[in-house]
Amino acid sequence: MLNCPIKQSFGIPCPGCGLQRSLSALWNGNFVASLKHYPALLPLILLFAYLIFHLIYKFKNGANTLKWLFILNVCIIYLSFILSFFEIWFFRK
C-alpha cells in the first residue's frame, strides 16, 4: 500500500486515508473491514456506477440524483474524517 504524504508529513490523516485498504478488503470480500477502513467507498462506487448508467441511458432525474449522491458522499467522507480526529485526540495512548 502507498503511504499518505499528508499523514507522513503532518501526522494527521487526510479525508482519503483508508481508501486503498478499504478497496483491498472489498476486493477480498470482507465488507465489514472495508466499511471500517473507509465508510464512503461503497457509496462512491454507487455514485460512479450511477453516473456511468446516466451517461449511457440519460435518466429523467439523473442529474438531481447524482447531485444528492454527491452530497451524501461528501457528508460521509467528512464525517468519517472528523471522527478520525476524535479517535486520534481522545483515544491516543
The stretch 10-23 carries a mean pLDDT of: 90
- 93 pLDDT band, cuts 50/70/90, is low
pLDDT of residue 69: 97
Q: Which domain holds residue 84?
A: 5-91
d(CA 77, CA 93): 25
Average pLDDT over residues 26-53: 95
- Locate cell 435518466: which residue? 59
Output the 3-class SS for 1-52.
CCCCHHHHHHCCCCCCCCHHHHHHHHHCCCHHHHHHHCCCHHHHHHHHHHHH
pTM, full prediction: 0.86
Domain count, the chain: 1
% of the chain exceeding 70 in pLDDT? 98
pLDDT, the chain, mean = 92
Query: Region 22-41: what's the mean pLDDT?
Result: 95
